[in-house]
Amino acid sequence: MADDTKLTLLERLEFKVASALFRLPPPMLVRLSGKPPVVIDGLRLHPEVQLLLSLRERKGVPRKSALSLAESRHRLRREALMHAGALEPVASVTTRVLETKQGPLRARHYVPPGDSRRRPLLVFFHGGGFVMGDLDTHDSPCRRLCHHAGVHVLSIDYRLAPEHPFPAAVEDAIAAFEWALEHAESLGADPERVAVGGDSAGGNLAAVVAQHTVREGTRKPALQFLLYPTMDRTRDWGSLSHFAEGFFLTRVDVEWYQEQYMTGSATPLSDPRVSPRQEKALAGAPPALIVTAGFDPLRDEAEAYATALREAGTPTTLRRFDSLVHAFANMSGLSRACREATVEVARLLRRMLDEVEPSRARNGANT
């Protein structure tokens, strides 16, 4: 069986050729894409992303419903590895098993370079529609966050649907956060500043964990970091129609993920544990950093959540990258624009966590 953690000779060659192409001037990138500049909803797609999507389309990307689960998961691992590029240096990386109240969970701990003592801890939940993704698919973005945000990152390998449908991922996410609160100091991190975060489906889980702590009156995360999260499946958002096809994540993908995640569940999509934007009691929620992409079908629901948090009095920073697409943090190896955006996000995260007052973080239990 091929090693999913290493590029094949052919993949290395493809990456070198693609890397050379992406160094060409922007007008040439658009020309190579075979299409005119893409402008939708008043936004212009970045030339690097336009070429990246064009190359992906030419290579052929079958619909997930046409593949077995094993094939879909394998394909994501290969794409993540192809797009990872050079890995950011960190002090150390350790894969371990967390003994949580939900049972054992695999996790990967990234220690930031330099003096890592008393640096914050980010409990990170990977994307993949609750169906795909693992510690390896998100190794590169976790390293980039660790390096540029100067934070410990604890990436969680939560249970996936449809083998483990809703609410398994939610239960694992809550258990992982509670484990992190208890063990942050033993990891060498600042126990006063334990944050939650994630991309796409992982951003959903991070928001659900934050809401759970408010609802239960338990200690809250120091920050909730939501990177192009899926937040509300109860309505047809404008961006879901604008970018239904051709921008990495499609409407069909979103619907397929939802079907897998909710297998056998009678829970309505309006339940905040499924659609966090549906939560009405947002007062007292932890500070939020919400990041969106202009050409992402999930853009509008994430930005609506930022508005709801602000209206509830939660300090919220919203940063949209107008010219990028969903999952841009996983495309940083080829696209300079995606890499620079991810680094900017990491620095925003660092600034916001550095501004957290220890007393406020420790008193995260509802007061």
What per-residue confidence (pLDDT) applies to 65?
A: 73
Q: What is the mean pLDDT of residues 119-127?
A: 98
For residue 201, the 8-state DSSP code is H
Structure tokens at 347: 């620095």
Confidence label for 361 from pLDDT (cuts 50, 70 and 90):
low
What per-residue confidence (pLDDT) applies to 84?
A: 86
Whether residue 31 is contained in a domain is answered as no
By the 10 Å C-beta count (0-12 exposed, 13-18 middle, 19+ buried), 108 is classed as buried
For β-strands 43-44 and 39-40, DSSP reports them as antiparallel
Confidence label for 105 from pLDDT (cuts 50, 70 and 90):
very high
Pick the catalytic residue: 253, 326, 332, 335? Answer: 326
Q: What is the mean pLDDT of residues 39-55?
A: 95
CATH of the domain at 254: 3.40.50.1820
Q: Is the pLDDT of residue 4 over 80?
A: no
Cis peptide before 167 (omega within 30 of 0): yes
Confidence label for 367 from pLDDT (cuts 50, 70 and 90):
very low
For residue 139, the 8-state DSSP code is H
What per-residue confidence (pLDDT) applies to 1?
A: 38
Whether residue 182 is contained in a domain is answered as yes
Please name which of 319, 289, 352, 326 lies closest in space to residue 151, comparing C-alpha atoms.
352
Annotated catalytic residue 200: yes
Whether residue 123 is contained in a domain is answered as yes
Cis peptide before 162 (omega within 30 of 0): yes
Give the residue, 260 or 11, on which the prediction is more confident: 260
The whole-angstrom separation of Cα 145 and Cα 197 is 11
Q: Is the pLDDT of residue 93 over 70?
A: yes
The answer to whether 346 touches 317, Cβ cutoff 8 Å, is: no
Whether residue 208 is contained in a domain is answered as yes
Confidence label for 365 from pLDDT (cuts 50, 70 and 90):
very low
Average pLDDT, the chain: 93
Q: Which residues of 306-342 are buried (b: 16+ CB within 10 A; e: fewer)?
A: bebbeeeebebbbebbebbbbbbbbbbbbbebbbebb
Q: Is the pLDDT of residue 362 over 60?
A: no
Annotated catalytic residue 126: no
H helices of the chain, where? 9-21, 26-33, 47-59, 69-84, 139-149, 168-183, 201-216, 238-242, 251-261, 299-311, 336-354, 358-362
DSSP-based three-state secondary structure for 16: helix
Whether residue 367 is contained in a domain is answered as no
Confidence label for 154 from pLDDT (cuts 50, 70 and 90):
very high
User: What is the tens place of the pLDDT at every residue in 249-298?
Assistant: 999 999 999 999 999 999 999 999 999 999 999 999 999 999 999 999 99
Pick the catalytic residue: 72, 200, 239, 323? Answer: 200
Residue carrying the six token digits 């956060």: 177
User: What is the tens place of the pLDDT at every residue in 203-239?
Assistant: 999 999 999 999 999 999 999 999 999 999 999 999 9
For β-strands 39-40 and 152-157, DSSP reports them as unpaired
Q: Is the pLDDT of residue 92 over 90?
A: yes
What per-residue confidence (pLDDT) applies to 116?
A: 65
What per-residue confidence (pLDDT) applies to 111?
A: 97
Q: What is the mean pLDDT of residues 321-347?
A: 96
Q: Is the pLDDT of residue 57 over 80?
A: yes
Q: What is the mean pLDDT of residues 70-99?
A: 92
Q: What percent of the chain has pLDDT over 90?
A: 81
Say what the alpha-carbon torsion angle 212, 218, 221, 222 is, to the nearest 10 degrees.
140
Host domain of residue 169: 78-362
User: What is the tens place of the pLDDT at every residue in 175-189?
Assistant: 999 999 999 999 999
DSSP-based three-state secondary structure for 51: helix
For residue 67, the 8-state DSSP code is S
Backbone φ, ψ for residue 109 (5° rounding): -105, 120
Total domain count for the chain?
Answer: 1
Counted residue by residue, the chain has a size of 367
The whole-angstrom separation of Cα 258 and Cα 323 is 26
Please name which of 303, 300, 306 lies closest in space to residue 243, comparing C-alpha atoms.
300
The letter for the amino acid at 187 is L
The whole-angstrom separation of Cα 191 and Cα 119 is 9
Find residue 99's DSSP bridge partners.
104
Q: Look up the pTM and report it.
A: 0.94
Q: How far apart are the first and last CA of the chain?
A: 54
Whether residue 256 is contained in a domain is answered as yes
Annotated catalytic residue 134: no
Q: What is the CA radius of gyration of the chain?
A: 19
Whether residue 51 is contained in a domain is answered as no
What per-residue confidence (pLDDT) applies to 274?
A: 98
The whole-angstrom separation of Cα 251 and Cα 235 is 12
Pick the catalytic residue: 296, 300, 323, 335? Answer: 296
Whether residue 44 is contained in a domain is answered as no
Q: Is the pLDDT of residue 165 over 50?
A: yes
User: What is the tens place of the pLDDT at every residue in 258-270?
Assistant: 999 999 999 999 9
